Amino acid sequence: MTITDSPVDNGVNVEALLGAREALSGAPEAAQFTFRASCTWRKGTHSHSTVAGFTGLGAEQQHRTTYEFDVDHPECFASEDNGATPVEFVLVGLVGCLTAGIASVAQYRGIQLRSVTATIEGEMNVLGILGADPDVRNGFEAVTVRFAIDADASREDLEALIAQAQKRSAAFDIVANPTKVLVELA
């Protein structure tokens, strides 16, 4: 099945993505993006972040609107719970990235999706962040994502779909592989 005569519509413009790949391969500077967020401390563990602009395609770009996020810790950590925890934002980023990948790869492979739902869990021993046990890491010991997909495709095709979505996922790469992080005083 070719892309052009495919009746499949997952709402993904695969031709635009393939066009972008072709165009950006010849213009490596334009392919260099910088994503960013701004954060302001409110009170206690509560902070407020906004995402509005990013750099890419050789220019400054703007989201359709400014997105706002409250980050906090739950009440059981003696906080006010004004928003999701930072680690939950990581989970949201990862599962959102994988889901976008599933829709895109399904479109490219001619698989019509009827529904895609996922649960994502990160296991964490808080003795790490509390500094109570030097053998326990701060972050997740493991992350598990479980996708339920209703589509006209065999189980084997769906397994290949989620494998490819992981392979091409930025957030999956960030979580699964070491990333250089610099934190400095302005």
Partner 1 sequence: MIKTTAVVVGAGHAGLAMSRRLTERSIEHVVLERGEVANSWRTQRWPSLRLLTPNWQTRLPGHDYAGDDPDGFMPAADVVATLARYARLVGAPVRTATTVHTLRADPQGFEMQANDDLLRAQAVVLATGACARPAIPGIAGAMPPSITTLTPLAYRDPGQLPDGGVLVVGASATGVQLAAEIHRSGRPVTLAVGEHVRLPRTYRGRDIFWWLEATGLLAERYDQIDDLTRARHLPSPQLTGTPEAITTDLNSLTALGIRIVGRLGRITDGVAQFSGALANTCTLADLKMNRFLNRADEWATASGLDDELPPPHRFAPTRVDPRTPLELDLTAGEFTTVLWAAGFRPDHSWLDIPVRDRNGHIRHDGGIVTGAPGLYVLGLPVLRTRASTYIHGAGADSGALADHLHAFLSGRRLR
Binding site for partner 1 (CB under 8 A): 25, 28, 159-160, 163-164, 166-167, 172-173, 175-178
Q: Name every residue whose Cβ is closer than 8 Å to that of residue 147 and which is 6 or more positions away in sequence.
A: 98, 102, 116, 117, 118, 162
Q: Which is nearer to partner 1, 39 or 176 (CB)?
A: 176
Q: Which is nearer to partner 1, 132 or 176 (CB)?
A: 176
* CA nearest to 116, candidates 147, 91, 145, 143: 147
Shortest distance in whole angstroms from residue 44 CB to partner 1: 32
Q: Which is nearer to partner 1, 43 or 167 (CB)?
A: 167
Helix axes 86-108, 155-167, angle to 10 degrees: 120
Shortest distance in whole angstroms from residue 49 CB to partner 1: 26
Shortest distance in whole angstroms from residue 96 CB to partner 1: 18
Q: Can you count the helices (H) and strands (E) in the chain?
A: 4, 6
Run of H or E residues at 56: strand 46-56
Q: Which is nearer to partner 1, 54 or 140 (CB)?
A: 140
